[in-house]
Amino acid sequence: MKIRNILCWLSLTLIVNSCIGDDDIDNTPKLGLLKKVEDLFGGTVYGSTELSYDKDHRLISWKEFIENFATLTYDVTYNEEVVTSITQTYHRFNPPNETFSVVDYDVSYQNNEIILSEQNSVNKMVFETTDGYVDSFKIYWGDNNEYVDESVFKRDANNNIDSTFNYTTNQSDTHLLIWNYAYSDFDTDAKLNSAFNMVYNFSFSLYRPLIGAVLNLKISKDTPLRSSYSDGHGTYREENITAKMLEYEYGLLKNISFEFVQYPENDYQLELSYY
């Protein structure tokens, strides 16, 4: 009798499950943690980033896909709530799944600086911070760290990003201005991590926004929707990138579009999904 009851229960379960369609599955985000960001051009995905978390909701890894070219994977190690190391693995698609490079960073903290030092190298990245906001980001490289690339962040009294300045070192100049951006038109509703603001991301900074995100660093209190551009050669564009928040679902931003003033006919978007 028990076996018969079990078989009846299994049959009923299979019948019920066979009637559940895709529309019946509950895909409501339970945690609100960012899961995936897809970069679209003309409706076609050309890149994406996938994020993973541990049981304590800490970001422990992310993978950046570059269409038909490569993936960059970052794995994070914690000591309690403090990030102690980050490993960057670079895979190329051709040859298939080739591991091109692996870089291990040790993370240390000194006053207002967070330092990522490459193991077996003098190269390093340095974040200078104030109250959890990034003031500058420097990349030191070369045999004796003689080269320094730097992004400097300026914010207003409300901690909204005002401008960024990007500098480099070459054979003849140090602290040479490459380009800078000014930001405006802030959205107070979109509580995006600075790592995924499209106006900032497409400002071609030297900064590594996802590394900053895992270190709980912020760029701006609110989200800028417009930027202007100038460079060291005198080029200036008053309107460089303009963004629109297109869709929210369950209170979470799902879709963003943005436009380069140079290419108004192109359709760029970000689509976001959540755990």
Report CA 274 to chain centroid distance, whole Å: 14
Residue-level pLDDT at 8 = 38
The answer as to whether 150 is a domain residue is: no
Residue 29 preceded by cis peptide, ω within 30: no
* Domain residue limits at 233: 156-275
Residue-level pLDDT at 245 = 84
Report CA 227 to chain centroid distance, whole Å: 18
The answer as to whether 191 is a domain residue is: yes
In one-letter notation, the amino acid at residue 73 is T
Please count the residues of the chain: 275
The answer as to whether 25 is a domain residue is: no
Q: How far is 192 from 250, CA to CA, in rounded Å?
A: 15
Residue-level pLDDT at 204 = 62
Q: How far is CA 144 from CA 55, 110, 115, 153, 207, in A?
A: 41, 21, 17, 26, 21
Below-50 pLDDT ranges, the chain: 1-22, 24-25
The answer as to whether 17 is a domain residue is: no
In one-letter notation, the amino acid at residue 163 is S
Q: How far is 185 from 255, CA to CA, in rounded Å?
A: 18
- The pairing of strands 124-130 and 133-141 is antiparallel
Q: 128 forms bridges with which residues in the sheet?
A: 113, 136
Residue-level pLDDT at 173 = 72
The answer as to whether 195 is a domain residue is: yes
Report CA 237 to chain centroid distance, whole Å: 25
The answer as to whether 244 is a domain residue is: yes
Residue-level pLDDT at 4 = 41
The answer as to whether 98 is a domain residue is: no
Residue 95 preceded by cis peptide, ω within 30: yes
Scan for tokens 């802030």, then name that residue: 186
Residue 75: both structure tokens together: 């794995």
Residues with Cβ within 8 Å of 230's Cβ and at least 6 positions away in sequence, in order, are 179, 180, 236, 237
Whether 199 contacts 192, CB under 8 Å: no
Total domains present in the chain: 1
The answer as to whether 67 is a domain residue is: no
